[in-house]
Structure 1
Amino acid sequence: MHEAYVLPGPLALSRSTVDRAADRRLDAAWVDALWSDGRTRVLLVGDGTVPVDDGALRFIAPGDAPDGDRFLLGLDGDVAYVAVHVAEKPDDGATLREVGAVLGDRDAGLAVHAVALANWHATHRFCPRCGAPTRSEQGGHVRVCEADGSQHFPRTDPAVIVLVVDEKERCLLGRSAAWPGRRFSTLAGFVEPGETPEHAVVRELYEEVGVRITSCRYAGAQPWPFPSSLMLGYYATAAGEDPAPDGEEIAEARWFSRDELTAAMRDGDVLPPSGISIARKLVEGWFGGPLPDDVSPR
């Protein structure tokens, strides 16, 4: 059944047009020279935000760049894009949740890259092996221990996010007690060490709502740097047994037909996933198109 569903694209935070130039990061002299090249464009990133002006990123010249960790984001022809991690929110700074869906493909990719690197660098100042300070190398994509020389790479935490459909073509949505209002979304959870994403789908759905998955299929992925996740989207099937929320992570879970979900949204009983999320796209793939706009949240 889930073979019929396709993620409607594009995913807001999965877009990019810039060459990351990973093969040039080891050339420290070349990377350093970019900061004296007048064509280079510098993006400030601070407090999880990037400066946005009229729906586009705002860049500055290298000579105007403040101090801070410096990251190579990539190349677009002869133009290099780099970022500086600053201590405070830049002027006109906006979060990815606020502008991720508004930015163009190039800017969305640059912003996600910069925010993800900034989040990682901020929490990996010291070596996890010996506790000594680390320094940034390879255009901000490696930190090296000052004492033992060990290399440490940006962290990415894989998580599965799943839309379950039963034999009646109803979808299963859940609500976390920590979410605002009547927000319902797809079920999700982190992949554990030594576990495949498919095994995580089965485990998480049973742990959170007591539903047994009979099959699942990968649908697509989206970076989610809040602070360092990669969301692996799945469609899954299950018998329409009554969900039994665990009461800790999930406060409420319900099966919805397409008509029931539409009515619940319009009545204000359900607030759907945000437009920037892969959860929203998973639901819309099952729904058969965009969700209704005339939602009346309580």
Structure 2
Amino acid sequence: MASSRFSSIFLLSIILTISKFALGGNFYEDFDNLFGDVRVDIKDEGQSMTLTMDEYSGSGIVSKNEYLFGRFDMKIKLVPGNSAGTVTAFYLSSQGSNHDEIDIEFLGNLTGDPYLLSTNVYADGVGGREMQYYLWFDPTEDFHTYSIDWNPDRIIILVDDIPIRVMLNRQTIGVPFPTSQPMRLYTTLWNGDSWATRWGAVKLDLSNAPFIAGFKHFNANACIAKEGGASCKGFNRGIFRDLDQESKKKMRKVQSKWIVYDYCRDLRRYAHGLPFECRKENLLDQSK
């Protein structure tokens, strides 16, 4: 009997240790209101949420915890109809001028035109690493899962569990990569019409307000950063480290059909030389 009790206590201690990392998802418990007041509407006992933007304000939430490495999933249904000028965002970010950031942003468009899914990565305050995609479905008709999978070696962006982008840690050749700054998770809906739709040519039409985006089934398998995040070193490696061959095949298909913009191919923007990691001698084929 004593042995059985000891085993139960030992198992419970393991579960409690793991629970610091393997987080569920509840909008009430895991997030604070960032801006927008009642425009953040949390429902279903914290399992779903809508964000609203009207003529007065957008809205957003921010995680209570800071994380250092993990996988973050969110089901999102985007603003339908004429969404030009709106930006719906799901991203990680630290604070300060030398901040780290991993972005998924949806750039609204005129009715009938596709959304742009824009991704970007900042490290030590250095960004400008945009890759943009059209989606192979209408993201306003139903919920789809968008994911950020981040560990010390690479970042993977996924749509419905299909990888669309992998950014590898290239610090060995002098390319900044987010490895040391804990980040909070943000979900926002806001007015970005100075740049979001056709480089700012199409503005927000407030006659279509309110603009509403839906969110549900947030999930995080992530390390909560404590005391600078030393306990998170190496988290999310192992079985989550690399793509298998089937996932690489799916990514190749997406990248062959749906990429709209790739900063590594923007010779106009970088007329005096591509970023270091984009130069021919430094390129890595991530699809092999």
Q: Which has the higher contact order (CA 8 A, sep 6+)?
A: 2
Higher-Rg member (1/2): 1
Question: How does the TM-score come out when normalised to structure 2?
Answer: 0.25
Q: Would you tell me which structure has more strand in proportion to its own residues?
A: 2
